């Protein structure tokens, strides 16, 4: 069954850095989006070390955007993959990009191109959920719609969260207390989160949900970021 999904319409900076005029924010760091993903989300959740034990590992994300976080995660997973291990990556996206914009936004990183092309060849917004299999036992599930409505129905035990909505001051709906409570409830014991944001509003909501919060060195010009554990 098809649904009416509103697509994003980004404005472009330096040809291939997308910016949302609706949220007055770029989709990733203008310094180096791939480096930001590695520093904030992959290392912020201590993933390479946690992947060393063969198992099923679940990552969930608020804000699929260009797919960069998933693509870099899949690339690094494939470099250390143990054949009995599986990775499930679940992401919520209210305003998806089209395939031309996804290709353009990720075009500067040649090491991501095979994964980007596989994503685009299987990309569709005709259904509420998108399920794509990638090599190395990777399953991508993108859920289109408002995470505030959809996350309470998520049937998963999440090992690590990427909290990557647009700036909390511009997009507070993706950082509100009820949603952070839902994030906590969907996280398994010992599960973690990482986010580039250190906004007091975000920190208080995560702490109120039950996470233990710590500050870590931020990426690029950002002095700090937040990490935490259930």
Question: Alpha-carbon distance 14 to 90, whole Å?
Answer: 30
pLDDT at 2: 44
Structure tokens at 228: 């935490």
pLDDT at 1: 39
Percent of the chain with pLDDT over 90: 89
Encode pLDDT of 173-215 as tens digits: 999 999 999 999 999 999 999 999 999 999 999 999 999 999 9
Instruction: Compute how many other C-beta atoms are within 10 angstroms of the C-beta atom of residue 32.
Output: 15
pLDDT at 3: 58
Query: Looking at the predicted structure, is the pLDDT value of residue 147 above 60?
Result: yes
Tell me the mean pLDDT in the region 165-180: 95
Structure tokens at 62: 């608020």
User: What are the residues facing 131 on neighbouring strands?
Assistant: 141
Question: Alpha-carbon distance 117 to 131, whole Å?
Answer: 15
Taking phi over 0 as left and psi of -120 to 50 as alpha, with beta for the rest, 63 belongs to left
The domains of the chain, with CATH numbers, are 11-229 (3.40.50.150)
Tell me the mean pLDDT in the region 151-160: 95
Max Cα–Cα distance, the chain, nearest Å: 46
DSSP symbol at 146: -
User: Which pairing describes strands 129-134 and 86-93: parallel, antiparallel, or unpaired?
Assistant: unpaired
Instruction: Return mean pLDDT, the chain.
Output: 95
pLDDT band at residue 36 using 50, 70 and 90 as cut-offs: very high
Query: Looking at the predicted structure, is the pLDDT value of residue 112 above 60?
Result: yes
Question: Alpha-carbon distance 55 to 86, whole Å?
Answer: 6
Query: Looking at the predicted structure, is the pLDDT value of residue 10 above 70?
Result: yes
> SS3 of 230, please?
coil
């Amino acid at each position: 069954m098809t649904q009416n999904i509103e697509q994003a319409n980004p404005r472009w900076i330096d040809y291939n850095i997308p910016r949302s005029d609706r949220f007055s924010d770029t989709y990733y760091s203008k310094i180096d989006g791939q480096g930001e993903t590695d520093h904030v989300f992959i290392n912020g959740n201590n993933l390479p070390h946690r992947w060393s034990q063969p198992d099923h590992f679940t990552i969930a994300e608020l804000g699929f955007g260009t797919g960069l976080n998933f693509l870099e995660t899949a690339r690094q997973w494939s470099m250390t993959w143990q054949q009995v291990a599986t990775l499930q990556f679940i992401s919520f996206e209210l305003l998806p990009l089209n395939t031309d914009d996804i290709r353009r936004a990720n075009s500067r990183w040649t090491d991501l191109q095979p994964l980007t092309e596989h994503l685009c060849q299987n990309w569709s917004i005709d259904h509420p959920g998108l399920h794509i299999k990638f090599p190395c036992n990777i399953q991508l599930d993108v859920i289109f719609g408002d995470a505030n409505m959809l996350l309470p129905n998520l049937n998963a035990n999440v090992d690590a969260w990427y909290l990557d909505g647009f700036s909390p001051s511009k997009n507070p709906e993706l950082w509100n207390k009820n949603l952070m409570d839902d994030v906590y409830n969907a996280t398994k014991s010992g599960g973690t989160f990482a986010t580039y944001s250190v906004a007091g509003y975000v920190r208080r909501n995560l702490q109120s949900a039950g996470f233990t919060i710590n500050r870590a060195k931020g990426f690029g010009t950002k002095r700090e970021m937040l990490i935490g554990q259930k």
